[in-house]
Amino acid sequence: MKEELKMIEKNHTWELVDRPMHNKVIGVKWVLRTKRNADGYINKYKAKLVVKGYTQLYGVDFSETFAPVARLDTIRMILAIAAPKNWKIFQLDVKSAFLNGNNAEFVKKFKEEMMNVFEMTDLGEMAYFLGLEVQ
């Protein structure tokens, strides 16, 4: 939890302000997960602070939605395209982004540039993601 709060503060995700007089406050909650390797052993524990968006009403509390979450269908499609072409798929854990490239030097440079901007861990070639083992 401390790590998540540190990243929120470091990335200026939000700022604390006084509550507007006639506005509803939207609560938050902690989502705790255990991340496992392909062999089932615990890799790490993760904590995410998320807004309780289900308490909002369209047109009252919000007018558009945005959720940077990859759908499992999309991941499977990318893997289905990449496999017959023997593409290497890399995974970066942004403290997850996917990256493919047939030019290894370009991929290396891109990953270095991303790591200069974002705090992330290079997990190397993708081996396990969202419960899928990738070979």
Kindly report, residue by residue over 75-100, the tens digit of the pLDDT: 889 899 999 999 988 877 765 455 55
User: Helix (H, G, I), strand (E, B), or coil: what is residue 74?
Assistant: helix
Amino acid at the residue 61: D
Residue with tokens 């052993």: 41
Residue 112 Cα distances to 11, 36, 76, 121, angstroms: 19, 26, 27, 11
- pTM attached to this predicted model: 0.46
* pLDDT confidence of residue 96: 46
Tell me the C-alpha distance between 29 and 11, whole Å: 19
Question: For tokens 């030097």, what's the residue?
Answer: 105
Closest CA to 102 of 87, 82, 81: 87
